[in-house]
Every structure is written in C-alpha cells, then in structure tokens.
Chains A and B, each alone.
Chain A
Amino acid sequence: MTATSTSFDRIPAKRSIALPLPEVKYESQKLAFPYLLLSTLLFPLMIVFGIIGAAQYIWPTLFLDTLNFSIAREAHLNLLIFWLLLGLMGATYYLVPEEAETEIFSKRLAWIQFAVFAVTGVAAMLVFMVFKQSEGKPFVEAPFYLDVLIAIGAVIFLINIGLTILRSRWTPLLFVLFTGLAGLSLLYLIDLVSFKNLSVDYFFWWWIIHLWVEGTWEMVAAAVMAFVLFKITGVDRNVLYKWLYIEVGLTLVTGIVGTGHHYYWIGTPDYWLPLGAIFSGLEPVPIALMVWDTLRHTPNRQLSAIHRVAWYWVLASAIGHFVGAGVWGFAQTLPQINEWTHGTQVTASHGHFAFFAAYGALIIAAVYLTLPQIRGLRLFGQRRGMWAFWLMNIGMVGMVMSLTVAGVLQTYLWRVLGMDFMVVRDQYLAFWLFWRLLFGGALLAPGVVLFVWDFVSLSIGPAPKVTPAGAPELATS
C-alpha cells in the first residue's frame, strides 16, 4: 500500500485523486454507512433550525406562534447531539472490525439499533414541533419515553461492540473507545431522573453535558482521531497507543473535577470556585498535547495527496479543538471572569466553536476517510470537498467572532453597566447577531449543503474507471 501511494504524492490536489486503497477489510465495516448517511442528512436540518433561531433575534415575531425560539433551539441542540453521536457510532462500526481484526458480532443487532435511533429521532422532532412536549432541560429535552428508547439503542450498541471486541482482542484504542462509549451511555441515564430542586437538577445535568464533551466524548473522539491518524499517516501504532493513554488520561484528570467550573453560581458550595478554576484551567493542556501530536505526524504522512480533504478536516479539528475548546473555554473558566460572562453570547461563541471543531470536523474527516473505502471507490473528485471545507470553516470562524463581539458587548452593557437585557439585545447586539446570521447562512450553510451533496454523490456515483495497469484516470470533476 505504501509503495503505490507515495507515487501519488505530487498529484495536484484540486483535481480528482486516485485512491489506491483496497476495499474494506471486513464486510461488517460497511455497517458504518447507514449511520454516517443519517448523520450527514441530519446535519443540514440542524443548521436550518439554527438559522431560524438566529433570524428570530433579528425579527422576533418570526414564527412566534408556530415555531418560537425555544422550539427552534431545542431542535437545533437535539439534532446536534444526534448527528454527532450517529457519526461517532458510524466511525465506531468502521474502526472496530479493523482494530479488533474480526467481523462485528451481529449485523442484525446493528440494524435494529439503527432503526431504534432513526425512529426515536423522527419521533423527537414530532414531539417538539407538533405536540410541543419537552423535558425542559437544554440539549436533552426529549420526553421520558424517548429517553428510554435511546437508552435501549445504546445498550444494543454496547452489547454488539462489546461482544465483538471480547471475541477477539482489546487494543488500547478499543479500550479507550469502549470505556468512552459505555461511560457516555451511563451518564445519559441521569436524564431519566428529575429532581424537584432546580439546583440539584442542574448539578446532575452537568454530569451529562460537561462529562460528555469534556470527558467521555473526548475519549471516543481521541480513539477515532488516533485511528484516522493511523490510517492517513501510517505512524507506528504503539506510539499512538501510548499517546492515547497520556492524552486521554490528562483529559479526564482535569475534566472530571473540572466540572466544578459549572458549579460556581448554581447553588453549589463555594469550594467549587477554586477547584473548578484550577482543574478546568488545566484542561487546555491535554488538548494542546493532542494538537502537537497530530501536527508532528504531518511531515511523515504518506497519503497526503490522496486523503487531502480528510487531512484538512483532521487539521481543522485539532486546531479548532484547541482554539475553540481550549482558548475560548479557558477565557471564561476562571470565576473572576465567568461571574460576568456566564450565560451570555460569550458562552454561545465557545459552544459553537468547540462542538464544531472537536466533534463535527472529526466526524467529517472520518466520513472522507471511510466512505470511499466503504463504496470501493478508487477515484473521487476533491474539489467539492475542498469548497465545502473552506465555506464551513470560514463561516464558523465568522460566526464565532460575531458572537464573541456580541458577547463582550453584552457583558459590558448588561452586566457591568446594568442596562436592561432587552434594550441591550435589540439595540446593541442586533448588528453583531446579524453578522452571525450572515456568516452562518451565507457561508457555513452552503458549505454544509455542498458536503451533503458530496456525500450523496460519493454514495451513489458510478464506480470510477481504473485502467488495466492500475493507474487511475484523472477525472475532471
């Protein structure tokens, strides 16, 4: 594989690129496809609700009686969680057979699990929009009976993946991956309980939100990232494994007690002020290590030209993870600052940046790495993929910057000067929130559409021609 691939190194990347890759090694790796497909289709839907919410900031009476801001936001957030988790599950189905060197335990279970999630997803949207039911806590608003279905889907998933690995072998990567998946499922069970005391309710709610994105999801993402890096750069597996433990270990050591950065002002004891500050203040360290770890593989990567789009997304994910989660998160994590910025557009700027880079970009990288192999493609145009890449990333950075300016302004006028919330929102922030809408609607959204188009055309496009010598024909896309 290596010998053939190096010869393609200097192929001009903007044109179509040959993929001298074999098809998937294990038939059941193709189970990733339905998950990645549904994930990719839900992504633009999530964007639609984001745009509606952002537009309601500018035109507050838009859909006021049919689809008000709270419904738009809950749809946006739930679809976010949903497409990301489906993407991570798709990546898991792809990588587990290759890493464990065996087929998935049961294909049927995988399809049943898929059906459970698909049905739950559709039902949740209906419940929010038509029946207007909600559990009322952001990100996890689905009502109890749907929570139960989600939990059942998760159990099927864990059994299927767990038995696959048990039948074969545990590698460090599989160990981290599986612990992360089991952990995030376990944490989700908290959503089945509700506490009468709002402070207690939110205390445990953060176990889901924070211990997901700064704990268990990080474990899953680190495993997927390690796998992607291994596939793209062919670095020594043992080096990757060791770094995986070190990075994930530090992430958890800082991230678990780091939950304290959400316990400053919600009625929890004041010892969380120093504890949250110190531990969460160190959270950027493992993220910085991860960036360094990714970048140092750049010089010796061998398949750069072939995996151009995937590689760009890997870089965007690593760098964006550091800036969006590490820098933007750190900027508001000390109590002295958080006291003023807590619950403002500053929070929203960080939430967007971190989620998009750490998880969204990684999943898209995984899609570009795995889809051609699942489809057995040896050739595919990368131009559309690169356009989608730049549109999405520039759009997201523009959105984040607009939100940051809006947030700092809001903090100053509302919190520091004590002006009225609505006056500040409508008269001072509208300009910046309009830019958010523009960056999101005019750059990010078209980028997402291009990505979906690329996904679909890679999925259903005709099998490319390969000349007898094995040298690919360069199609002009």
Chain B
Amino acid sequence: MTISQTRNLFILLIVVCIVAFAVMSIDSVRKVSAERTPPVTEQVAAGKAVWQAKNCNDCHTILGIGGYFAPELTKVAERRDADWLKGFMTNPQKTKPGTTMPNLGVSAKEADDLVAFFQWVSKIDTNGWPPKPLVSTSATASSGAASAGQMLVRQKGCLSCHRIDGQGATGPGPDLSKVGKRIGNDLLTRRLINPRDVNPSSTMPATPLTDSERDSIVEYLSTLK
C-alpha cells in the first residue's frame, strides 16, 4: 500500500467510526432523557447546580465519577432520609460530631435542592450499579420488622455515630453489634425517646421518630446478639 492509499483508508475508517458513534450518541441521549432518568424538575436542576458550584464532586464520586476521597453518593437518598441529609449538609459537625466533611456553607434552601437532586439521582437506571455486596453479613440477613428497623437505623443516621457488624462509623457512639445482649427493649425505647433519661451526661441527640419507627428500631436492635 502506498502512503496515500494508507491515508485514504485511514480517513474512511475514521469517518465510519465517527458516524456510527454519533448515531448511537443521539439515540443514547434521547433514551437517557426520555426513559432512563426521571424528569428533571426545576428543583433537581437547582440541586445539581449547587452540587457543581460547591465542587462536591472532587471529594465524592457520583455515578462512580469524581474524587475517591469521600462516600459514593449515587444511592445516598436510599440510605439516608431527607431530614438527616439536610441537617448534615447544612452543618456536618452538628449532625455528626467529629466528621471530616467540611462545612461548605450550604443554606437550607440549597440543602432542599440537593436532597431533591440526590433523590433524582438514586432513580437513574444504572444497569444495576452499584452492585449488591456478594457476602451478606448477619445484619443484612434478617427480615420483617427487624429489616424495617435496620433500614431506619441507616436512614436516621444512627450509623453515622454507631457501628453495627462492621458497617457505620467507629464513633463517637459505641458499637451496637451486640446491643441486644446488653440492653432490654424498655431501656432501648426510653433511650430513643430521650437519651438523657438513661444517661444524664449523654451526648447522643434525641432523633425525632414516630412510635412505629421507634418500635421497628427497638425490635431490630434487640435481635443483635
């Protein structure tokens, strides 16, 4: 092959690739907007704007993209509830003493927008990513009311101070993996209504819970033995 034949083949192949890629891209963007992501409301868009203006993405990954320094947030709206997220983002230290997420001056409105954004992101069809862990710990194997309690323990931010079976934080609260052995249901209930009732010098906050939420959590904690 001469040089000019090589060049012509080169150009031809590349043009074919670019055209094929462009066609698939148009199709992809159409499907992403129409089917694979929920509609983008004004609030979701505003949340995304805050997310980018504060450069959260260079510490956190979202959809697996970004800095590897801080927790992946694609599904954060599934593991934390809106109140906890809002409290944490506006004032990380207050919600979780000792945390190393900086206070970035997120206002209450911005936090609402961010929550809407995270809820939107958690509903993107990601082909099943992130994958479920392969090995289930005892904490993930329980069922019924206990598993509702288990969800709540996550969502209400208990795991941002406590650890259960290797999940959650190392402090300031004690490890709760065997708490059912130590503490009976009554005491657990009283503690959740008002921690200072049980331990006057407690620094644990009284998390607002409905009666049934509290019951589920107590039921779950009592199975941890």
Contacts and interface: CB of A to CB of B under 8 A. Distances in A.
Interface of A: 53, 56-57, 60-61, 64-65, 68-71, 73-74, 77, 133-138, 141, 172, 175, 194, 196-203, 205, 238, 241-242, 245-246, 248-249, 252-253, 256-257, 259, 263-273, 275, 339-340, 342-345, 347-348, 415-423, 425-427
Contacts of B135: 416-418
Interface in B160-178: 163, 166-170
25 contacts: A73-B58, A135-B52, A136-B55, A137-B52, A196-B40, A196-B45, A197-B33, A199-B32, A200-B29, A200-B33, A203-B29, A245-B6, A246-B6, A249-B10, A252-B14, A264-B127, A266-B124, A268-B32, A269-B32, A339-B129, A343-B61, A343-B66, A417-B133, A418-B132, A423-B167
Nearest to A132: B55
B190 interface: no
Contact of B126 (A61, A266, A416): A266
B130 A415 contact: yes
Given A199-B37, A418-B140, A343 B65 contact: yes
B51 A136 contact: yes
A269 B63 CA distance: 14
B20 A257 contact: yes
A198 B48 contact: yes
A253 B33 contact: no
Contacts of B21: 256-257, 259
A420 B167 contact: yes
Interface string B44-62: 1100100111111111011
A199 B57 contact: no
B100 to A, nearest CB: 4
B129 A265 contact: yes
B208 interface: no
Nearest to B39: A197
Interface in B32-88: 32-33, 36-37, 40, 44-45, 48, 51-59, 61-72
B27 interface: yes
Nearest to A269: B31
Interface of B: 1, 3, 6-7, 9-10, 13-14, 17-18, 20-21, 24-25, 27-29, 31-33, 36-37, 40, 44-45, 48, 51-59, 61-72, 100, 102, 117, 120-121, 124-127, 129-137, 140, 159, 163, 166-170
Contacts of B40: 196-197
Most chain B CB within a 10 A radius of its CB, from A138, A197, A252, A275: A197
Given A265-B126, A266-B65, A269-B28, A416 B134 contact: yes
Contacts of A198: 37, 48, 62-63, 117, 120-121, 124
Given A56-B69, A64-B102, A257-B20, 10 more contacts: A65-B102, A69-B59, A70-B69, A134-B58, A202-B63, A245-B3, A253-B13, A269-B28, A339-B131, A419-B167
A198 B24 CA distance: 19
Contacts of B17: 252-253, 256-257
B14 to A, nearest CB: 5
A64 B168 contact: no
Nearest to A419: B166
Nearest to B27: A269
Contacts of B52: 134-137, 194
Nearest to B7: A245
Contacts of A267: 32, 36-37, 63, 124-126
Contact of A340 (B67, B68, B131): B131
B37 to A, nearest CB: 5
B7 A421 contact: no
B46 to A, nearest CB: 9
A210 B53 CA distance: 23
B68 to A, nearest CB: 6
Nearest to A238: B3
Contacts of B130: 265, 342, 415
Contacts of B25: 203
Contacts of A74: 55, 58
A68 B127 contact: no
A347 B129 contact: no
Given A263-B28, A273-B127, A419-B166, A343 B68 contact: yes
B49 to A, nearest CB: 9
Contacts of B29: 200, 203
A202 B14 CA distance: 24
A136 B159 CA distance: 29
B102 A141 contact: no
A314 to B, nearest CB: 24
Contacts of A427: 170
Given A70-B67, A136-B53, A416-B133, A241 B3 contact: yes
Contacts of A420: 159, 163, 166-169
Nearest to B123: A267
B58 A70 contact: yes
A249 B14 contact: yes
Nearest to A252: B14
A414 B20 CA distance: 38
B122 to A, nearest CB: 11
Contacts of A422: 71, 169
Nearest to B159: A420
A257 to B, nearest CB: 6
Given A137-B52, A423-B170, A345 B68 contact: yes
A116 B13 CA distance: 36
A203 B25 CA distance: 9
Most chain A CB within a 10 A radius of its CB, from B56, B131, B140: B131
Contacts of A245: 3, 6-7, 9-10
B28 A348 contact: no
Contacts of A241: 3
Nearest to A403: B68
Contacts of B58: 69-71, 73-74, 77, 134, 136, 138, 141
A238 B6 CA distance: 12
Contacts of A203: 25, 28-29, 32
A248 B31 CA distance: 32
B64 A265 contact: yes
A418 B130 CA distance: 11
Contacts of A71: 55, 58
